[in-house]
Structure 1
Amino acid sequence: MLAGMSGHRGPLLVFSLLLLASLGLAPPAASASPRWVVSWAASPVVGSTIPWSDCPAGTGLTDRTVRNVVFASVGGSQVRVRLTNAFGSAPMRIGHASVAVQSANADAVPGTVRELRFHGGRSVTIPAGRELFSDPVPLRVAALSTLLVSVYVPGPTGPITNHPFTAQGNFLAPGDQATAVAGGAYGNTPCWMFADGVDVVPTRPIVGSVVALGDSITDTSATTGNANHRWPDYLARRLDAGHGPGLSVVNAGLGGNRVLLPREGEPYWGIPAVDRLERDVFSQTGVRTVILLEGVNDIGYDATAPDLIAGLADIAAQTHAAGLRIIGGTITPFGGSFIESPTRNETWLEVNDWIRHSGTFDAVVDFAAATAAPGNPMALDPAYDSGDHLHPNDAGTEAMANAIDLSQLLPHHLAATG
């Protein structure tokens, strides 16, 4: 049969290559370069002291190893890690780093620790304001698994670019423990430091990544710690359960973040969403779609509806100019919370009406309707309320992920099911 078809292999090969290209998949040629996609990332902020947190990013570290615990949305056969000095005011010296599959707590699965190299060297200096990827290492990573990214710094570092609110326990040890399998030398720390991205060469067809741009409701909400119950995590599970080509998921949420303005004197909430797109969204490997859910903190600071709408429209325009799709998410209810007032309620209604009906976005996901109390669209459903009437709980974030039409993330003929 194969011999009988040999005369048609040329046209078939051309057709196959064109089909793969149309799906965004690399052809299976032996000479093809690995096709990378981001599997995990977190949006960084400047190192500063947070009054209620013992994260040491504000003061810095000397002769310490950070072991970051991160959730891989898709699996792969090779890994590279992105380290960041995005908000540093001086070069940052990295002495040693590794990536491994987590066993439990700070312990790695034996045989999975991979020392990271940077242009072939064990140590590297990251210039102020820059980020860099490690050299690739072979490591079998399962989708929805947990990795340990360990970074040793001789220091003193000064303030460390970090992600402060993680809903995840991370670890800190004296000396160089980067390649230690056992985690007995490590104590606890709440923040992710130095690492802000992990890319993989996927082991199943992954056509790109979707980036969730948001505030605390995206970042951590009031979800259970060490459980990966943020709504982007639930979205990753839905996509992983689908058949055919899929997407990885990036959480670009920042607790307390605003669309329009920084929060004066509190740099740990990050720079405004309109100003962080290039680094936090557009630079993610393989990004193709953005889901935007921001604005409740602006409303809490009495932003007007026209100003907030202008900011959201600016984000949409920047995203389209970058050649990406953007899905607008309606702002979830906050009735009964500390930010509620009649004026703010009116702003919320006006902004959500614009998100739903303006046509600014390529599609809309109605997070507000998905989480609202029966008969009261202004308040969270009690089953989804974490208790502060503002942040959804685990069930609420799962409902948010379930509200997303997966066909809006992928072309219709590639849409996963689940």
Structure 2
Amino acid sequence: MNRPRLRRPVVHILTAVAVAASTVLTAGTASHAAPDTAPAAPAATAPVVTWAASTDRLSTAGAAPERTYRLIVRTSAGGSGLRIRLSNTFGDQPVTFGRAYAGLRSTGAALVPGSNRPLAFRGAPTVTVAPGGSVYSDPLPGTVRPQSDLAVSLYVRSAGGAATGHKMALQTSYIAPVGNHAADVSATPYTQQITSWFYLDAVTVGAGRGTGAVATLGDSITDGAISTANTNRRWPDFLARRLLADPGSPIKGVANEGISGNKILTDGSGQSALKRLDRDVLSQRGVRTMILLEGVNDIKANPAPTAAALIAAYEQLIGRSHAAGICVVGATVMPYEGWREWSESGEAVRQEVNAFIRHSGAFDAVVDFDEALKDPVAPNRMLPAYDSGDHLHPNDVGMRLMSDTVDVRALGCAGR
């Protein structure tokens, strides 16, 4: 495949426009699909990821049987034929899902009456996912509108050992601790609250031809750390609203593949970016472009890698993405002086890495988060107006500015 091309590095500051809509899931009969691949969408549409979260081995809780999870997620792109992907990537025992439903959340764990619909897996209401495996549901007839609060209810009939999920959801979800309550519209059985997503790692829809998605591969800044919980104020959330509001952009789906504490070169908080690229980005449906914002956790580690080692890793991520037909937008590593692990030697590495991102031409485009959020008087620090207070993570205002700094037209990835 020829290397995809974008316009060369351009940075625009634009104003985000929030657009909210609801979900409509109409009645119909589910079609069949292979358990390990997303089935083909109807001829007029193509599958596009509308929500995603990177998975890891959850240390806060092991896998538990005979409980129902009601997981709340926000869609980006709208479309038909909703599918979910369930992951047991980090499990050491099979997980059997007795039932799975998708509906529109009203408030809390309560659903909009009539919206909760059963999902099937190769026509069956149950599915067992082997350790290390994942499965897509069959497409669910009906329409999902963009910017909807979707409730995915999973009855886990049998499970044990390690659980797979996304630890820092910054979104309250719910557990019915005993039995199958996936079909319940009421919030009554859901007596426990959680702030992680279990097993669910992607939602796709069939969107109009020409519609694509962007994946944001990153660490805690992309994961949304310190942004206000339950308000969808991570910078990829703001970006999703901008893309929806822009009639000229063919990119409508956003897959947030951030993991708090994640590194490019080594495992720790999640597998390294080098290891998880295929699963978290290249496997996602309809992704045309990846925004890569990783490196600060490597740089502030002790011992820290050299700039040359990080640059070589960037080049590997770019090459593998290009081979899959995906463009790569490089995001500069943001200032973090004042954070407890800041050092002059780390700052020197950050400056060298950012020079590579800006000027090497290796990326298809560049978004300069460093330039946008730094304090002009003290450029190794984040401007206080954007700083959450820990000097590493932006606040809600900073998260919105990050989104505004992205040139949304560059994400179209002409030539893909």
The question of a shared fold, defined as TM-score above 0.5 by the shorter chain, is answered with yes
Contact residue 334 and residue 370 of structure 2 kept, 8 A: yes
Contact residue 108 and residue 148 of structure 1 kept, 8 A: yes
1:95 counterpart SS class: strand
Q: Which runs of 5+ in 2 are unaligned?
A: 1-40
Q: Aligned pair 1:47/2:58, yes or no?
A: yes
* Match in the other structure for 1:218: 222
* Match in the other structure for 2:145: 142
* Match in the other structure for 2:290: 290
Displacement after TM superposition at 1:160 (Å): 1.1
Displacement after TM superposition at 1:205 (Å): 5.8
> Which residue among 326, 331, 343 is the counterpart of 2:333?
331
Partners of 1:189 and 1:215 in 2: how far apart?
21
Partners of 1:134 and 1:411 in 2: how far apart?
29
Contact residue 316 and residue 361 of structure 1 kept, 8 A: yes
> Which residue among 308, 316, 319 is the counterpart of 1:314?
316
Alignment of 1:156-171 (within 5 A): 156-171=159-174
2:186 counterpart SS class: coil
1:194-253 per-position Cα deviation (integer Å, ceiling 9, x unaligned)? 111111123x56521110000000012210000000111111000000114333111010
Partners of 1:382 and 1:327 in 2: how far apart?
26
Partners of 1:283 and 1:246 in 2: how far apart?
17
Partners of 1:322 and 1:155 in 2: how far apart?
36
Partners of 1:67 and 1:33 in 2: how far apart?
31
Partners of 2:228 and 2:387 in 1: how far apart?
13
Contact residue 305 and residue 350 of structure 1 kept, 8 A: yes
| Alignment TM-score, normalising by the size of structure 1 | 0.86
Pair 238,185 (structure 1): closer, same or farther in 2 beyond 3 Å? same
Alignment of 1:30-109 (within 5 A): 32=43, 34-49=45-60, 56=61, 59-109=62-112
Pair 230,184 (structure 1): closer, same or farther in 2 beyond 3 Å? same
Letter in 2 for 1:249: V
Alignment of 1:247-286 (within 5 A): 247-263=252-268, 269-286=269-286
Contact residue 85 and residue 131 of structure 1 kept, 8 A: yes
How many equivalent pairs are there?
371
Alignment of 1:331-370 (within 5 A): 331-370=333-372
**RCO comparison, higher one (Cα < 8 Å, 6+):** 2
| Alignment TM-score, normalising by the size of structure 2 | 0.86
Letter in 1 for 2:99: H
Displacement after TM superposition at 1:179 (Å): 1.1
Contact residue 63 and residue 152 of structure 1 kept, 8 A: yes
Displacement after TM superposition at 1:307 (Å): 1.3
Displacement after TM superposition at 1:155 (Å): 2.3
Displacement after TM superposition at 1:104 (Å): 1.1
1:30-86 per-position Cα deviation (integer Å, ceiling 9, x unaligned)? 98264211100111112324xxxxxx2xx2212101111111011123211111111
1:197 counterpart SS class: strand
Displacement after TM superposition at 1:313 (Å): 1.6
Pair 317,173 (structure 1): closer, same or farther in 2 beyond 3 Å? same
1:402 counterpart SS class: helix
1:232 counterpart SS class: helix
Contact residue 119 and residue 125 of structure 2 kept, 8 A: yes
**Which deviates more from structure 2 when the two are superposed, residues 312-321 or residues 382-391?**
312-321
Letter in 1 for 2:300: G
Contact residue 42 and residue 206 of structure 2 kept, 8 A: no
Contact residue 328 and residue 364 of structure 1 kept, 8 A: yes
Letter in 2 for 1:250: A
* Match in the other structure for 1:229: 233
Pair 122,412 (structure 1): closer, same or farther in 2 beyond 3 Å? closer
Partners of 1:397 and 1:62 in 2: how far apart?
38
Contact residue 90 and residue 132 of structure 2 kept, 8 A: yes
Contact residue 293 and residue 328 of structure 1 kept, 8 A: yes
* Match in the other structure for 1:189: 194
Partners of 1:339 and 1:37 in 2: how far apart?
39
Displacement after TM superposition at 1:261 (Å): 0.5
When the two chains are superposed, the root-mean-square deviation of aligned CA atoms in Å is: 1.8
Contact residue 206 and residue 247 of structure 1 kept, 8 A: no
Partners of 1:145 and 1:379 in 2: how far apart?
36
Letter in 1 for 2:203: V
1:373 counterpart SS class: coil
Q: Looking at CA atoms only, which structure, 1 or 2, has the larger radius of gyration?
A: 1
Q: Aligned pair 1:209/2:220, yes or no?
A: no
Question: What stretches of structure 1 move > 6 A for 4+ residues in a row?
Answer: none
* Match in the other structure for 2:31: none
Partners of 1:80 and 1:207 in 2: how far apart?
17
